[in-house]
Amino acid sequence: MRQATATLVRPRRSSDLPACVEALAGVHEADGYPTNWPEEPADWLTGGALIGAWIAELDGRVAGHVALCRRDADDVAPGLWSERQGVPIDRTAVVSRLFVAPGARGHGLGALLLARVVAEAGASGLDPVLDVVESDTSATALYERTGWRFLGTGEQHWSPRQTVTVRCYAAPEPGPEPSPASMSAPGPGTAPGEPA
């Protein structure tokens, strides 16, 4: 029987960065993400055209992370979404830097982080998209299990000597609004509208 745990998703603070880097190092060791370990991991987490970043806590400790960024010229998913939907490419936002520490997996933190970033993007009038290295089958499984819609594949050029194939996804279709009864008294770590 799994012990009850307290989970929380909240905006990332600068004071969270050392714990985020520690968690990221564990993910890199276990899963090889990120593919190329950054020279300055804290800068990698805070860099780019950042819109916002959130962390997941498990029993008061940083256990996961996600960021939302403006698109970069190398991002494939925004172009695919823009073409498919007939919307301006600047209406997209890219979900990135998503990870959950190996010791914190199995608590639904990845899904909670994705739900939060989708809600934040929607509140800003942005369409969230993402791409994932094709060989990262565990991340792909999470996205598909949580309803992300496959857009296609493309190539990203990370350096003159490194080109990778990525799978591109768009956020799940918005579902019906939850009933007031389904939102009452959620348990610890339960997102509003999820069964407690």
pLDDT tens column, 80-118: 999 999 999 999 999 999 999 999 999 999 999 999 999
Largest Cα–Cα distance of the chain, in whole Å?
A: 55
The parent domain of residue 62 ranges over 7-174
Query: Could you tell me if residue 34 is inside a domain?
Result: yes
Query: Could you tell me if residue 191 is inside a domain?
Result: no
Residue type at position 58? L
3-class DSSP assignment, residue 186: coil
Q: Which two tokens stand for residue 100?
A: 């959950």
Q: What is the mean pLDDT of residues 124-146?
A: 94
**Per DSSP, what are the bridge partners of residue 57?**
8, 62
CA distance 42 to 177: 37
The pTM score is 0.85
Give the number of domains in the chain.
1
Query: Could you tell me if residue 184 is inside a domain?
Result: no
Q: What is the mean pLDDT of residues 110-131?
A: 97
Alpha carbon 185 to its chain centroid, in Å, reads 26
pLDDT tens column, 152-194: 999 998 888 999 999 999 999 876 544 333 333 333 333 333 3
